[in-house]
Homo-oligomer: A and B are copies of this chain.
């Protein structure tokens, strides 16, 4: 048993922390100003230009595409790190979650899309889409969730992907397609049903397909941007509602083939959850730091807030919760690396359920210590809170994962 990171990881963490201190954190107010300026001139759905500078800086520092493991055949597109090696880097980036991941080309949903292309894409698909994504020249979106059904159950999905000669035709309505409001998001990765959802002859998990749809294909309509608790996340391309109205693309745009959608989605989930959770741990560390600083400086009723027992209890609970949550994420990452994603099933579900709730509570406490400043835009806390809260829903609500994890646990003893 050994809780230390290896040298390569420690080196990267050190360099990434320097990048955060020297470049990313100072850029936060610039980013906010540029986002507001873009909004004021009627172009809200674009990345603030400071991101380009930070990306150049990150590349120069060797902090680019850190997330991408080597392909099974050994091909290296990114940094070639394992999940355990990447985890602490994701945490550090999570301390400024609206800037740092994109500065290092490590932001969702592009990371997931790049992983899928690297793992499952044909050479042609990789050339057309993976290259520009790895290079940060374009962005992408993942179109999975639908407004009309409980999408946490993938077999519920109603978007159709119908074969028609050498083409496939996509019809349906998606929402929460993060990033898709930005014209730079040239690629939409779309999940849909390619078999009749009620055809009992086809296995329920073999009815879905995943297809690459250029955003400018006729029939694609970007309907509107959604808000999450008042935030439109415009500076990152927002969260789009998108309709697909008989959208025709070549069948060669299918990933792997018809009926493979569910399997690809599953492969995408494990690393994605580790990334999300580690970024959330970074959010929690940021919130705890802000809470401590504020508590030390703010005086009420004759003493600093830091001297109040209730604040101390919150600080302690936050530290304890962070420490154990981080270990469980690392354990999940380690299991994925050493035993495979399937062996890490329980741990992956556990962190999916656990970490957003824990971090939401820590940020909430930090807000409370900040008073009115905490809910305002003068601190990052309110926006960080929303990031944690929405992840209790994204990729399936807690309730679904908890029930699934429980059934597995119950089975262990039912047989015994």
- Confirm or deny: A216 has a beta carbon within 8 angstroms of a beta carbon on chain B: no
- Confirm or deny: A217 has a beta carbon within 8 angstroms of a beta carbon on chain B: no
- Confirm or deny: A152 has a beta carbon within 8 angstroms of a beta carbon on chain B: yes
Contact among B5, B153, B296, B385 for A414, CB-based, below 8 A? B296
Contact (Cβ within 8 A) A368 B382:
no
Closest B-chain residue to A152, C-beta based?
Answer: B300
Q: Which residues of chain A from 2 to 29 have a CB within 8 Å of any chain B CB?
A: 2-6
Most interface-central of A1, A4, A176, A383 (chain B CB within 10 A): A1
- Confirm or deny: A327 has a beta carbon within 8 angstroms of a beta carbon on chain B: yes
By a CB distance below 8 angstroms, the chain B residues around A414 are 292-293, 296, 306
Contact (Cβ within 8 A) A382 B229:
yes
Contact among B230, B402, B410 for A295, CB-based, below 8 A? B410
By a CB distance below 8 angstroms, the chain B residues around A229 are 229-231, 375, 382, 385-386
A382 and B383 alpha carbons, distance in the complex (Å):
13
Q: A331-B3, A393-B374 are known contacts. Are A292 and B410 too (CB-CB below 8 A)? A: yes
- Confirm or deny: A63 has a beta carbon within 8 angstroms of a beta carbon on chain B: no
- Is chain A's binding surface mostly helix, strand, loop or mixed? helix
Closest B-chain residue to A381, C-beta based?
Answer: B229
A385 and B360 alpha carbons, distance in the complex (Å):
14
Contact (Cβ within 8 A) B372 A147:
yes
Q: Which of A50-58, A121-129, A192-200, A347-355 lines the interface with chain B?
A: A347-355
Shortest beta-carbon distance, A390 to chain B, in Å? 6
Q: Which residues of chain A from 222 to 256 have a CB within 8 Å of any chain B CB?
A: 226-232
A213 and B392 alpha carbons, distance in the complex (Å):
46
Shortest beta-carbon distance, A176 to chain B, in Å? 5
Contact (Cβ within 8 A) A334 B2:
yes
Shortest beta-carbon distance, A323 to chain B, in Å? 6
Contact (Cβ within 8 A) B295 A1:
no
Contact (Cβ within 8 A) A312 B410:
yes
A402 and B376 alpha carbons, distance in the complex (Å):
24
A193 and B335 alpha carbons, distance in the complex (Å):
51
Contact (Cβ within 8 A) A315 B230:
no
Shortest beta-carbon distance, A85 to chain B, in Å? 9
Q: A229-B229, A231-B230, A310-B309 are known contacts. Are A145 and B372 too (CB-CB below 8 A)? A: yes
CB pairs A–B below 8 angstroms (16 shown): A149-B299, A150-B298, A226-B377, A227-B230, A227-B377, A228-B230, A229-B230, A300-B400, A309-B312, A310-B402, A316-B406, A323-B347, A324-B325, A327-B331, A368-B393, A368-B398
Residues of A participating in the B interface, judged by any CB pair closer than 8 Å: 1-6, 84, 145, 147, 149-153, 156, 175-176, 226-232, 288-289, 292-293, 295-296, 298-301, 305-306, 308-317, 319-320, 323-325, 327-328, 330-331, 334-335, 346-347, 350, 353-354, 367-368, 371-378, 382-383, 385-386, 389-390, 392-394, 397-403, 405-407, 409-410, 412-414, 416
Give 7 nearest A-B pairs by CB, closest first.
Answer: A230-B230, A309-B309, A150-B300, A312-B406, A292-B413, A327-B327, A316-B402
